Amino acid sequence: MPPLSRYMVRLALLHLALGFFFGGLMLAHKAFPIAPWAMRLLPWHIHSLLIGWTIQLAFGVAYWIFPRFALERPGDPRGRAGWAWASLVLLNAGVLCAGPAGAMGWGPGLALGSAMETLGVLAFVVHLWPRVRPAIL
């Protein structure tokens, strides 16, 4: 597993742990309503699990597994790695911005975080698109 994939997968696992924890707090509150503030965690729970865990894990594994340019670019087999690194930064910054902003009800922060997440996805698409090709054996 290349370094970028390791970073993405580990960050995805951290988002999984956090997202599940927030979800557990909210579900426990539904059972015994003693912590009304818990329901404010819903936006953070959603961003953490949809973007931070699901999408980031898929990206991390795709970066690892998708066909490479071993023959055409022997020194840079995965090609345009800068876009993938930018994606890692934008996705995680986006979740860490949108999540707390959503929990606090701060609209501009939520919008900014969501925009960063969108840019992160676009950046990864720029990286990955040329690798959607038959593997050359």
Binding residues for another protein, rule: CB under 8 A, are 1, 6, 9-10, 13-14, 16-17, 19-21, 23-25, 27-28, 30-32, 49-50, 53-54, 57
Q: How far is the CB of 90 from another protein (least distance, A)?
A: 21
Please say which residue, 4 or 123, places its beta carbon nearer to another protein.
4
CA 8 vs CA 33, 41, 59, 97: distances in Å:
36, 23, 8, 18
Question: Exposed e or buried b for every residue in 14-53, given b needs 16+ CB within 10 A?
Answer: ebbebbeebbebbeebeeeeeeeebeebebbbbbbbebbb
Question: Nearest approach, Cβ of 45 to another protein (angstroms)?
Answer: 11
Query: What CA–CA distance (Å, rounded) separates 17 from 13?
Result: 6
Nearer to another protein, 18 or 101 (CB): 18
Output 7 or 85, the one with its CB closest to another protein: 7
